[in-house]
């Protein structure tokens, strides 16, 4: 007797693109970017304070050699901070282009489609480009969060899975949040406030 295929409660179709890759990068790297900004601002403030002090002191006295070396060190710190800020501004775009290139090299196409099917006891993800399938029980989902256009799910194995907010069939965005709240009571949730 053949096993009948189960019908999912609802499904989702996600097609990655540069815009969604940028959102993932901004979301995942937020803490790193914040630390760079805060530490860099602190170093920048100290360097500027020192530079002002040296300039005021040099106006009255002959500047010793070690002070000149510290002056150039502060200039290097300021330059490094500016470089880090510029790098972090362009990092999401670079990440998105690199992901697009990786997908094209891996699958031979720049468009892949990932389908998710939500059942009573598990969720199944199917990559149509590679024909790979992954089934996860709801207990293995540890973090549920969202960006402007995506829901992001982090598993116990630290995998990040993206779902398109407007790729659902059979449920609304609010219905998905309620469903996941019910099925994953131990998962950490960071839902966005209603817009």
> Above pLDDT 90, what percent of the chain?
26
Calculate mean pLDDT across residues 114-118. 93
CA-CA distance, 189 to 181, in Å (whole number)? Answer: 8
What is the SS3 assignment for 15-79? CCCHHHHHHHHHHHCHHHHHHHHHHHHHHHHHHHHHHHHHHHHHHHCCCCHHHHHHHHHHHHHHH
Res 136: pLDDT: 92
Res 194: pLDDT: 60
pLDDT in tens, 52-103: 777 776 666 666 666 667 777 777 777 877 787 777 778 888 888 888 888 8
The structural domains of the chain, with segments of one domain joined by +, span 10-16+112-190, 18-107
CA-CA distance, 74 to 90, in Å (whole number)? Answer: 25
Res 59: pLDDT: 65
pTM over 0.75: no
Calculate mean pLDDT across residues 22-29. 80
What DSSP string describes 76-114? HHHHHHHHHHHHHHHHHHHHHHHHHHHHHHHHSSS---E
Supply 110's token pair.
């720049």
Calculate mean pLDDT across residues 44-54. 74
CATH architecture under which domain 10-16+112-190 falls: Roll (2.30)
């Amino acid at each position: 007797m053949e096993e009948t295929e189960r019908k999912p409660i609802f499904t989702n179709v996600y097609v990655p693109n540069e815009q969604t890759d940028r959102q993932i990068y901004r979301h995942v790297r937020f803490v790193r970017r914040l630390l760079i900004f805060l530490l860099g601002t602190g170093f920048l403030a100290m360097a500027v304070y020192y530079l002002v002090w040296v300039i005021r002191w040099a106006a009255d006295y002959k500047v010793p050699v070690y002070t000149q070396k510290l002056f150039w060190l502060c200039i290097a710190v300021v330059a490094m901070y500016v470089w880090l800020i510029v790098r972090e501004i362009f990092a999401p775009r670079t990440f998105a282009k690199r992901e697009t290139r990786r997908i094209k090299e891996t699958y031979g196409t720049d468009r892949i489609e990932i389908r998710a099917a939500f059942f009573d006891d598990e969720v199944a993800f199917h990559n149509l480009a590679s024909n790979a399938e992954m089934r996860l029980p709801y207990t293995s989902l540890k973090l549920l969060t969202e960006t402007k256009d995506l829901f992001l799910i982090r598993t116990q194995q630290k995998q990040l899975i993206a779902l398109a907010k407007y790729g659902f069939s059979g449920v609304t965005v609010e219905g998905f949040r309620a469903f996941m709240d019910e099925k994953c009571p131990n998962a950490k949730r960071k839902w966005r406030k209603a817009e």
